[in-house]
Structure 1
Amino acid sequence: MSQFNTYFQLGYEHILDVNGYDHILFVLALCVLYQLQDWKKILILVTAFTIGHSITLALSTMNLVNFRTDIIEFLIPVTIFITAFSNILKKQGSTPSRFSSNYFYALFFGLIHGLGFSNYLKSLLGREESILMPLLGFNLGLELGQIIIVGFFTIISFVFVGLFNVSRRDWILVISSAVAGIAITLMIETKFW
């Protein structure tokens, strides 16, 4: 198996690992506002998140950026909470605009999530001569995993909202509230002071 394929598989498995559910929660908080027909917007969101975490993942892996792990582990659930809570505050019945705040969250908060991925990737890279292919493979694997998660979640959303006639606003409130609640628990567990 090639180096690229190895790291692609590792990225894919890492995002789908239930132990990494914090990143899954963030992606769900980003995408809960959208419906199945908004698949292009969802894909842009997921890709913006990948771009954000790819930047800091690369910088951290090359030792150009370094942050305390305990602070990053605390900031990740903070990003999840902010995203989910902003969904709760959005006006009832509003459809995300073309330039929704979630695009900003995906890109900017992706930078923080990339720092969280970096410790895992650094431990895998060991003494690789070149990190370009491993980084590319890992990030593309993460992207595919995120697309699968969002695709699955969007289908579940369609079933509840489209077929069972659950109010779209109620769906957003329930999912966002649950994600925000889990994020608060994670913040308490990872506080660094």
Structure 2
Amino acid sequence: MQEFWFYVDLGFKHVLDFGAYDHILFLAALATPFTFKYWKKVVVLATIFTVAHCASLALAAFDVLTVDVGLIEFLIPVTIFLTALFNLIYVFKDAVSIGMYLHGLATAFFGLIHGFGFSNYFRLLMAEEEDKITPLLGFATGIEFSQVAIILVVLGVAFVAQHFLKLKRKHFITILSILIMLITIPLLIATFPK
């Protein structure tokens, strides 16, 4: 059980690592168009992301699939940028009218990409482990807890901005999405394949 909690902690810290803030940016972009009224939808999307993220880790841990790290390092900021761009495209539509099926598929695909970004390190951790399922479940649990925490913070910021500061929802989504895109541009430049 101690091993399980070690990996829960590792998953939690993996997402909340401000040195590697790409995960936080992605979740912020994912949650931006939503409000507390639709918190279940964004948590479902985060869970889809967690499952896909851990699926790519499992593929790596069991030596089923290896990917080009350089390409993945570039694709991670691409997923963040595209998610924020998606917000801008639909900024004048109600967030619930955005197709959850399409949103879910995109989130799953992006989760696979993000998982492969951590897969080499995770494979090294798993090299000596006979039981790979317990660490994967622990890691997934830590990721899910931290993602829900980030989503609640973003929804809280949205609530304060829209209800107390009287910022219109469309303006909030636009401002936060553009800010996320601007923060992501240096990541895109730094990881662009040479």
2:105 is equivalent to residue 104 of structure 1 = yes
Q: After TM superposition, give the deviation of residue 20 of structure 1 in Å.
A: 2.1
Regions of 4+ moved over 3 Å: none
2:168 matched residue in structure 1: 167
State how far apart, in whole Å, the 2-side matches of 1:11 and 1:119 are: 15
1:29 equivalent in structure 2: 29
Indicate the residue corresponding to 1:134 in structure 2: 135
Asked if 1:10 is matched to 2:24, the reply is no
RMSD of aligned Cα (Å) = 1.4
The C-alpha deviation readout for 1:112-159, integer Å capped at 9, x for no partner, is: 011012123223234111111011101110110101111111111100
Residue number in structure 1 paired with 2:71: 71
State the TM-score, normalized to the length of structure 2. 0.94
Q: Distance in 2 between matches of 1:175 and 1:120?
A: 31
Report deviation, 1:98. Answer: 6.4
Give the secondary-structure state (helix, strand or coil) at the position aligned to 1:130: coil
Length-normalised TM-score, structure 1 = 0.94
Gap change, CA 1:169 and 1:56, over 3 Å in 2: same
Alpha-carbon offset, residue 61 of structure 1: 1.5
Answer yes or no: is 1:143 the counterpart of 2:152.
no
Query: Deviation at 1:43?
Result: 1.0
Identical pairs, percent: 39
Q: Does 2:191 match 1:190?
A: yes
* Structure 1 residues not aligned, in runs of 5+: none
Say how many residue pairs are matched.
193
Show structure 2 runs of 5+ residues with no match: none
Q: Tell me which amino acid in the other structure corresponds to 1:102.
A: H
Q: Write the deviation string for residues 57-99 of structure 1: whole angstroms up to 9, x where unpaired.
A: 1101211111111110000001111111111111514233263
